[in-house]
Each structure stands twice: as structure tokens, then as C-alpha cells.
Structure 1
Amino acid sequence: MSIDRDTFENTSEEELADLSVPEQVLGFLAANDERAFKAREIATQIGVDEGAVSTALSRLKDRDVVEHKATYWAVTDDTGRLERYSGYERATALFNDQLGAEEKESWREHAPSEPHPSVENER
């Protein structure tokens, strides 16, 4: 996962310590909680090998923090269960420190009303 130059220059090495693959996967799915993704799409988005993402998804499913249907994966809608998962807390804290807290309603105001064409092609 890439970071901007400003974050690179102004963040300590400890803060930049890599998130585990499950933390990266969960962070991505939580940030995109209105959608479900295939493992390869997640791998492409977070820059991790698809096999590692598939393994992480299986482990996250065992902990009931992601849901699986056919070839699609989504974060659970059980916010209590999600908040109790320590990897979610670590990923959220790191992203908030680096990028600022997300304001979902503000983001949704600017979100496209139609899916990206690449998503349409997979249907």
C-alpha cells in the first residue's frame, strides 16, 4: 500500500510499521463497507498477493468480521463484533493518524452514484 510523500517524510518509522495483511484487508473492506469485492480486487487495491489476501479473508471469516457469498467478500455489518476485533482498531487508528478521521457522510456526498465501469464488466 502506498503512502504520499508528506506522510513518508513526517511519520515515524514505528508509525509506518506495516499493517498485517488481515489488517490491510479489513481496513479496505471497512472503508468500502457499502460494497463486496472479489479477493483479486482487494489484492489489487491494497497491493498484496492474491493468495495472501485469500488466506487473510478466510481467517477474518473465522473471526466473523467478514462475510463471504459466492466469490464476493464484505465487512460484517455487526459493528460491535467489528469494533471488538483488535486488528480493526489498529488499522483504524493508524489510518486516522496518517490521514485524519474519515467523515463518511461528507465522503458519501461526493461518491459516484454509479459503480466504476470495471465493476460493471464483472456482472
Structure 2
Amino acid sequence: MPIDAERFEALDDDDGATSPGTNAHELLSFLESNPDQAFTQSELAAATSVTKGSLGPTLVRLRDAGHVEHRGNYWRISDHARSVTAATNHASDVAASYEDEPPAYDEWQAHAVDPRETRE
């Protein structure tokens, strides 16, 4: 079934996000688990379930979105993607630490605003 030009233009408009189960997600997951190495397309095909025919176009999209870097015949996770992942993990750890140890009542009370002080 044909689609109009506007819908066609929006098809790849995902801001570089990857969804679980996609070739892009599988490649990024593999590369993120091997951040200190770079791989050829053949090596990526052997290490993942992404077919050789899909590797090139997927890697180019990931490169254009800033997720991977390419030099010669080799591909690796980008430093930017590694930084974003590290920052996200840190933020999650900090948030989880607040859930594990709620502030003591006295500490919470010390930061509470007295409603009488906010009246004008």
C-alpha cells in the first residue's frame, strides 16, 4: 500500500533512538559490551544475528546519529555514546540510592518550609 511523501519522510525520524529487537539495538548492545575494541563488518556479522546485508546500512545510520565511529574497515561504539550510557547509569544509581535509604525525618524536617513564612 503506498504512503504519502510526508509519512515517508517521518519513517526514519527517530532521533537515533534504537528499540530492543532491532538490528541497531543489537549492534549497539554488542559494541557497548566491547568498548575498547573495533570490529569489521564480517566480525560484527559473526558476533551478532544481524545479516551481512543489513549491517552496512544500519552502521551508517548509527554513525550519522553519532552512536558509532568508523575508520578504515573498522567500527566501534562512539565516545559520545559511551558518555551518555555512563551518565545514564550514574543517574540511575543515584536515584536508586535515594530509594534504598529514605531521608531521616529530622533531615527532611530541616529542609521543610514553614507555611507561616510563605505568607505575605
C-alpha displacement at 1:48, in angstroms? 2.1
Structure 1: give runs of 5+ residues left out of the alignment: 1-17, 84-88, 90-123
Letter in 1 for 2:73: T
Q: Which runs of 4+ in 1 moved over 2 A?
A: none
Pick aligned residue for 1:44 from 43, 46, 51: 46
Structure 2 residue 27 is matched with structure 1 residue 25: yes
Pick the structure with greater CA Rg: 2
Map Cα deviations across residues 83-118 of structure 1 (whole Å, 9 max, x no partner): 4xxxxx9xxxxxxxxxxxxxxxxxxxxxxxxxxxxx
Give the alignment's Cα RMSD to 1 decimal. 2.1
Structure 2 residue 60 is matched with structure 1 residue 58: yes
**In 2, Cα distance between equivalents of 1:55 and 1:44:** 17
Identity of aligned residues (%): 30
Secondary structure, aligned partner of 1:68: strand
Taking structure 2 as the reference length, the TM-score comes to 0.51
Of structures 1 and 2, the one with the larger relative CO (CA 8 A, separation 6+) is 1
